[in-house]
Amino acid sequence: MKNLILTILLFVVSLTINAQDTPKVGDKFVINNPSGQHYNHIAFPKLNIISKRGKIANYKSIIGEEVIVKEVISKSNGNVYVILEKEDGSKFFGFQTKAKANYKSAISSGELSPTDS
């Protein structure tokens, strides 16, 4: 009886820990500095595309921006992708309204971090 209760308790704890790792629509995040010269896990346009659109070719304008999850996409291979939009409703770089990000990779690399609110 003791083993059954312990097994059920561990099962419930593991489910709650796993549930905290999945994003929900409406979650807020902050975009941080990329680890290299460009973002690896958030699908922003390359710098040459930004300059062809007549904008300054750097990512400084989006660092520190608060974004909201508008859609969560779960793939069969276990990857979870999120569609991000700016919280204030403006566009990224003046022309891109949405950005797609690999959730787990972007969080672990530090490109995205959850906000306190």
Is residue 8 a part of any domain in this protein? no
Measured CA to CA, the distance from residue 12 to residue 83 in angstroms comes to 30
Contacts of residue 54, defined as CB under 8 A and 6 or more positions apart, other chains included, come to: none
Is residue 6 a part of any domain in this protein? no
Is residue 4 a part of any domain in this protein? no
Residues in the chain, total: 117
Is residue 88 a part of any domain in this protein? yes
Is residue 16 a part of any domain in this protein? no
Is residue 51 a part of any domain in this protein? yes
Average pLDDT on 74-79 reads 91
Is residue 12 a part of any domain in this protein? no
Measured CA to CA, the distance from residue 31 to residue 111 in angstroms comes to 6
Average pLDDT on 47-60 reads 88
Is residue 1 a part of any domain in this protein? no
pLDDT band at 19 (very low <50, low <70, confident <90, very high): very low
Residue found by looking up tokens 């680890």 in the block: 35
* Overall number of domains in the chain: 1
Average pLDDT on 74-78 reads 91
Range of the domain at 72: 24-114
Measured CA to CA, the distance from residue 28 to residue 87 in angstroms comes to 8
